[in-house]
Amino acid sequence: MFAMKLPPELPSRYDPSLFETEIYAEWEASGAFTPPATPQNEPFTIMIPPPNVTGVLHMGHALDGTIQDIVIRFKRKQGYDALWVPGTDHAGIATQAVVEKKIFADTGQTREDLGREAFLAEIWKWKEQNGATILDQFRALGCSCDWTRTHFTMDADLSLAVREAFVRLWQRDLVYRGARIVNWDCKLQTAVSDDEVEMTPTKGKMWYIRYPLVGREGHIMVATTRPETLLGDTGVAVHPDDARYKDLVGAKCRVPFVEREIPIVADDTVDAELGTGAVKITPGHDLADYERGARHDLPIINILDKAGVLNDEAGPFAGQSREAARKAIEEQLEALGLLDRVEDIKHSQPISDRSKPVIEPIVREQWFVKMQPLAEPAIRAVREGSLNFKPERWAKVYLDWLEGVHDWCISRQLWWGHRIPVWYDEDGVPCASVEDLELGAPHPETGKPIVRQDDDVLDTWASSWLWPFATLGWPKQTADLERFYPTQFLATARDIIYLWVARMVMAGHALLDDRPEAERTPFGTCYIHATVLDGQGKRMSKSAGNGIDPLEMIATYGADSVRFCLISLTREGQDVKLSESRFEDGRPFTNKLWNAARFVCANLAGDVGAGTLDEAQTFEDRWILTRLAETIAETTQALEEYRFNDALTGLYRFTWNDFCDWYLELAKARFTGGGEGGDDARVVRGVLVRVLGDLLGMLHPFIPYQTEVLWQVLHEALGRTADKQLVTTAWPDGAGLGSDAESLERMALLQELVRAVRNIRSVTMVGEKKPLDAIVNAPSAAERATLGELEAAAKGLAFWLMLSIYDNPERPASSAVGVASGLEVFVPLGEDVDKGKLVEALDQRVAKKQKLKDGTAKKLSNQKFVERADPEIVAAERERLEELAVELELLERNLAGLRA
C-alpha cells in the first residue's frame, strides 16, 4: 500500500516530476527490492557490473541498468526470490589520478609529499564524500537493486576474498613474478591494462633506415614509426617466401650507433607487402617483436627507464627523452647516409586514457597469472552449455581470446588498490599470506626476518573478477552464497568480454572447486548489449562533445521516457543511434496510456464484472480479452528469451492500437444512453479493469513509475486499497482468458473496413470526421450478414451517415474506392469536392509514389546492397516496395473512377 497522496483529479498529462522521487523512496522503504530473508521460491540473481567509484551515469550505463532492471522486475513479478546486487569498483588508476589532482590543486602537494598512508587516507575521505554518486543516479533511473547488499571492491569482506584468491592461486603455482612485456604509462609510472589504452588515430612518420650488412657489401632497409627503438634491436625479420631476402636469411646486419651485430631471421608473421618487407625486432618495446624474439631466442634489451627516458643501453643517446632522441637519431642517420627517406603517414598510437601520454610497451618485472590452465574450464563452459551468450556471435569473441590467451599482468605500481599480499625476507624470498605478516616476524619457509611487503597493488580486474561470488560472502560458506550462486543473468558491454566476463568465468571455476563444474560458472546468460552512438553513428565521448547526459534527459522527460526510448531503439545485436530528440518519442506513449487509464477510472461507478472470456458477450469484449491473452504469452516469451525490444514493441502495439484506438472507442458508446447501470456496462467495466490491470503489470518492468501510479489510481477508482505495490504483484497469468477465433475474424473485418474508408479520406483529402455514405461490395451472403452485425460499430469508427451492403453493386460515378479484406468499398464524392483539383493532386501523388517505387526497386536490384546490407534493412525495403505497389494501384483506381 502506498502512503503517497494522489491528486484528487488526475491531470490531463502525466508529469513525472510529481511522482518519481516519492515513488522510489516508498519502494525502497518498503523493502520491495530485497528478497525474503528465508528462501520461499527459486532464486534469480543479477550482479551489477560495478561502475567506477569516480564515474557518473552515461548512456551506456543507462541502457545497461535499464536492461537489468527489466529482467529483475520481471522475475520478481514471476515469483522468484529476485536479487540484484549493486556496488562500485575502486578503479585504481582513475581514482588515484582524481585524488592526486585534487590534492595538488588544493595544497600543491604530491602523493610522495604526503606519503603512502596519508595519501590513502585522503582517498578514503574522498570516497566517503563522492563514492555513492553514481549509485544514486541508478536510483533516479528506477533501478530496483537491493541496496542493503551494496558492495565496494575495497570493502573488508571483498579485500579478504582478493587475498584468499591470490594465495590459493599462489599455492597452485598459478601466480608468479617475472619479466614480460607490459603496457607502461611513463607519466603515472605503472603498468596498465588493455582497457586503459586508447588506440588513437594520428598523423605520424615512417622512417626508412639502412642497416649495414656484416661481412658483405650492402645493407638491408627497414621501415619504422619509432626510430629511437632501434637502439634496442636484436634482430631483423623477413618473410620466408620473400625472394628479395632469401639469400640474407642467416646473415647479420649492424645496428647503427650501438654497433650491435644482429641476425636476419625468417618469420611467417612478417607482412612482405608492408614497408620494405623487412622489420626490425625490438623485443623489449613491441608486443609482436617480443613474441618474434621469443620464437628466435633473441635477447631482450630495455632502452627506457620508468619515466620513458633513454637509459645506458641507448649508448650516445642515454639521458634523452624519446622525442629528443628521435630527432637526434634522424639527423645523425642522415649524416651517416643511413636514412633513405621519411614519409608522412596516418596510424594509431596507444594513448593512456588516464594520463594521456603515449603508452610504451616495456619488459619489466611484474606479477602475472598463468592463464592457460584457467582458460580450459572457461572454454568448456560455453561449449558444454553452462554459459550462453546473447547474441550468440559474441561467444566467438570470448572463445577466440581464451584460445589464444596470454598470461595476465596483475600488478600495478600504484598506492590505491589491493596491495599484493606477498612479504619478503632479508634475502628477498617471497611468501604469500591472507593475514598480514609482521615486519621482523620469521618467514614461514626460511625462518629469516620479514623485512617488507611488496609495494605493488593488484590490477582492478583482479578484484572485480571475483565479484559474482565475493559479494555473496566467499570465501566464507554463507547462506547467500549457497542460495544465490550461480547467478542467472549478466548484462554488459562488448569491450569487456575478455577483460571481465571471461575472467569471472575463470575465477568461478578456479576458486569454487568444491562445486560440480557446471555450478561454478558464475552466470547462465551473458547478454551483450548495444553500444550507444550519437545521431551520426559515432561513439559518444567527452572529448568529442557528443555525449548526452541521461540525468538531464531524466530531469526533462522523466525516467520512464528515457527507459522507453533506449529499449525501443535497441534491437538485439544492433547499436543504437541516439539523439536528444528521440527522448520525445516516449512521451506520446506515456500520455496515451495515462489518458486511457483516466477514461477507465472515470467510468468505474457501478458494479464491475470479472473480466473473463466466459462472461464477455460482445465480439469486441471477446476480441480484446483474446488479444490480451496473446499479448501476455508473447511478452512473457520475449522476456524469457531476453528480447526486450520485441516485448516492448508488442506491448506498444497492444496498448496504442488494440486497446486505445479500437477497444476504448467501441467501449465509449456503451457508456452512453443511460446504460451505465446495466449488465453490459458491468461487463465492459470488468473488461476495462482486467485489460488495464494486466497491461500495467506487463509494462511495469519498462516504465515502472507511471505504471505504479496508475495501479494505485485504478484501485482508488474501484474504491479499494491496493494490497501490494505493483512492483511486487504477480505477473499476469492469463487466468480466465482464452482464444476466440470468431471475434478475431470479426474485428479484422471491421478494422479493414474502417481503414479502407480512412484511406479513401486520405486519398481524396476529405476531412477525417466529415460524414460520408459508403457502399460495400460483398458477394458472400455470410459476409453481408457479418457486415450487417458490424454496421453500428463501423459507423461510429468511420463517421458514416449510411452504410449500404450489396452483392456486386455498380460503382457510382465520381466515387472513390478502397479495399477491405478483398471487399470493395465505394464512397460517392459530394458536389463540394473539386474533382479537377483532386485529379491534379492525385496525379502528383502517383508521380511521387512511382518515383519512390522505382528507387526502391533499383536499390533491391543491386546485388551488392542485398548481400551487404543488414537483412532486416533488406526485408524492410522489400516490404516498402510491396506497400508502394498497393498504394499506387489504389491511387490509379481512384483516378480512373474520377475521370470516368
Question: Are the C-beta atoms of 753 and 793 separated by less than 8 Å?
Answer: no
User: Could you give phi then psi for residue 534, rounded to 5 degrees?
Assistant: -80, 180
Direct distance between the N- and C-terminal alpha carbons of the chain, in angstroms, rounded to an integer: 68
pTM: 0.88
Give the other-Cβ count within 10 Å of 97's Cβ: 19
Task: Report DSSP state, residue 678.
Answer: S
**Given this model, what pLDDT does residue 787 score?**
80
Can you say whether the dihedral through the CA atoms of 47, 50, 56, 62 is positive or negative? negative
Q: What is the number of alpha carbons within 13 Å of residue 799 lying toward its C-beta?
A: 10
DSSP string, 243-311: GGGTTTTT-EEEETTTTEEEEEEE-TT--TTSTTSEEEE-TTS-HHHHHHHHHTT------B-TTSBB-
What is the SS3 assignment for 714?
helix
Q: Are 136 and 86 in contact (CB under 8 A)?
A: no
Rounded Cα distance, 779 and 599, in Å: 40
The residue behind cell 473539386 is: 834
Among 479-483, 651-655, 679-683, whose mean pLDDT is lowest? Answer: 679-683
Q: Residue 415 carries which DSSP code? A: S
Phi first, then psi: give them for residue 205, nearest 5 degrees: -135, 155
User: pLDDT: is 706 or 586 the higher one?
Assistant: 706
Q: What is the mean pLDDT of residues 649-665?
A: 95
Residue written as cell 607519466?
187
* Helix, strand, coil content of the chain in percent (nearest 5): 50, 20, 35
565-579, 777-791, 795-809, 843-857: which range is least confident on average?
Answer: 795-809
CA 72 to mean position of chain CA atoms: 16
CB 168 within 8 A of CB 511: yes
**What distances in angstroms separate CA 609 from CA 43, 302, 585, 677, 715, one per listed residue?**
36, 83, 35, 12, 15
The per-residue pLDDT for range 725-736, each reduced to its tens digit, is 999 999 999 999
pLDDT in tens, 477-530: 999 999 999 999 999 999 899 999 999 999 999 999 999 999 999 999 999 998
pLDDT digits (tens, 9 = 90+) for 98-116: 999 999 999 999 999 999 9
Tell me the one-letter amino acid at 342.
Answer: V
Per the structure block, which three cell numbers stand in for 667? 467501449
CB contact set of 9 (below 8 Å; sequence gap of 6+): none
The more confidently predicted of residues 594 and 760 is: 594
pLDDT band per the 50, 70, 90 thresholds, residue 298: very high
Q: List 823's β-bridge partners, or say none.
A: 820
Cell numbers for 301: 634489451
Min mean pLDDT across 151-160, 416-425, 430-439, 813-822 is at 813-822
Give pLDDT tens digits for 152-165: 999 999 999 999 99
- Other CB atoms within a 10 A radius of the CB of residue 802 amount to 11
Cell of 347: 596510424
DSSP string covering 563-621: HHHHHHH--TT--EEE-GGGGGGHHHHHHHHHHHHHHHHHT--S------TTT--SHHH
pLDDT band at residue 235, thresholds of 50, 70 and 90?
Answer: very high
Instruction: Give percent of the chain above pLDDT 90.
Output: 68
* Count of all residues that appear for the chain in the document: 900
Q: Nearest 5°: phi and psi at 388?
A: -120, 140
Taking residues 61-87, report their average pLDDT. 97
Average pLDDT, the chain: 90
Per-residue pLDDT band for 554 (boundaries 50, 70, 90) equals very high
pLDDT band, very low/low/confident/very high, at 891 (cuts 50, 70, 90): confident
Closest CA to 727 of 120, 50, 140, 144: 144
> Within a 10 A sphere around the Cβ of 443, how many other Cβ atoms?
19
**Are the C-beta atoms of residues 505 and 378 closer than 8 Å to each other?**
yes
For position 767, what pLDDT does the model report? Answer: 64
| Residue type at position 681 | A
Contacts of 290 (CB under 8 A, 6+ apart): 180, 181, 283, 284, 300, 361, 363
Q: Map grid coordinates 612518420 to a residue.
A: 205
Sole residue written with cell 453493386: 809
**What count of other Cβ atoms lies within 10 Å of the Cβ of residue 246?**
11
Burial 558-572 (b: 16+ CB within 10 A, else e): bbbbbbbbbbbbbbb
Strand partners, 33: none
Which residue shows C-alpha cell 517505387? Answer: 853
Please give the grid coordinates belonging to residue 477.
560458506
For 314-344, the three-class secondary structure string (H helix, E strand, C coil) is HHHHCCCEHHHHHHHHHHHHHHHCCEEEEEE
674: pLDDT strictly greater than 70: no
As beta bridge partners, residue 683 has none
Instruction: Please state, in angstroms and rounded to a whole number, the distance separating the CA atoms of residues 748 and 756.
Output: 12
Q: Which residues pair with 423 in a beta bridge?
A: 431, 453
Q: How far apart are CA 35 and CA 27, in angstroms?
A: 13
Three-class DSSP category at 474 = coil
Q: Is 211 helix (H, G, I), strand (E, B) or coil?
A: strand
Taking residue 287's Cβ as centre, other Cβ atoms within 10 Å add up to 13
pLDDT band at 673 (very low <50, low <70, confident <90, very high): low
Model confidence pLDDT, tens digit, residues 573-627 = 678 888 888 888 888 999 999 999 999 999 998 899 999 999 998 999 999 999 9
Model confidence at 776, in pLDDT bands (50, 70, 90)? confident
Look-up: residue for cell 608492408? 274
DSSP secondary structure code for residue 54 in this structure: T
